[in-house]
Chain A
Amino acid sequence: DAGITQSPRYKITETGRQVTLMCHQTWSHSYMFWYRQDLGHGLRLIYYSAAADITDKGEVPDGYVVSRSKTENFPLTLESATRSQTSVYFCATLILGPRNEQFFGPGTRLTVL
Chain B
Amino acid sequence: DAKTTQPNSMESNEEEPVHLPCNHSTISGTDYIHWYRQLPSQGPEYVIHGLTSNVNNRMASLAIAEDRKSSTLILHRATLRDAAVYYCILRDNDYGGSQGNLIFGKGTKLSVKP
Question: Taking beta carbons and an 8 Å cutoff, which residues of A are in contact with B?
Answer: 30-31, 33, 35, 40-45, 48, 50, 56, 58, 90, 92, 94, 96, 99-107
CB-CB contacts below 8 Å: B43-90 with A? 43-46, 49, 87
Cβ of B106 and Cβ of A40 under 8 Å apart? Answer: yes
Smallest distance from the beta carbon of B94 to chain A beta carbons, Å?
9
Question: Taking beta carbons and an 8 Å cutoff, which residues of B are in contact with A?
Answer: 32, 36, 41-46, 49, 87, 91, 93, 95-98, 100-107
Smallest distance from the beta carbon of B8 to chain A beta carbons, Å?
10
Partner of A33, one of B49, B87, B100: B100
Partner of A50, one of B49, B97, B104: B97
Enumerate 18 A-B pairs (CB-CB under 8 Å) in ascending A order: A33-B101, A40-B106, A42-B87, A42-B105, A45-B103, A48-B100, A50-B96, A50-B97, A58-B98, A90-B43, A94-B96, A96-B96, A99-B49, A100-B32, A100-B100, A102-B46, A102-B102, A107-B41
